[in-house]
Amino acid sequence: MCSVGDAFGIDMAERLNPKEYRCKDCGNEFKGIGKNVLCPACQSNTVELA
């Protein structure tokens, strides 16, 4: 056994069922999880469900 952080993170993401978001600042569309979703492109928290 070993502790691979990335594999654990991917497994958690799939369990939480990520939703599609759109950034209002730059228009980037991405999958987000949780309450405080940040745009991966510009780090803005002004996002909406796509």
Q: How far is CA 39 from CA 5, 8, 9, 12, 28, in A?
A: 22, 22, 18, 19, 7
Q: Could you list the residues that contact Zn ion (CB under 5 A)?
A: 23, 25-26, 28, 39, 41-42, 44
Encoded amino acid at 16, one letter:
L
Please, what is the minimum distance in Å from the beta carbon of residue 17 to Zn ion? Answer: 22
Q: Which of 33, 44 has the CB closer to Zn ion?
A: 44
Name which of 16 and 24 has its Cβ closer to Zn ion.
Answer: 24
The smaller minimum CB distance to Zn ion, of residues 11 and 29, is found at 29
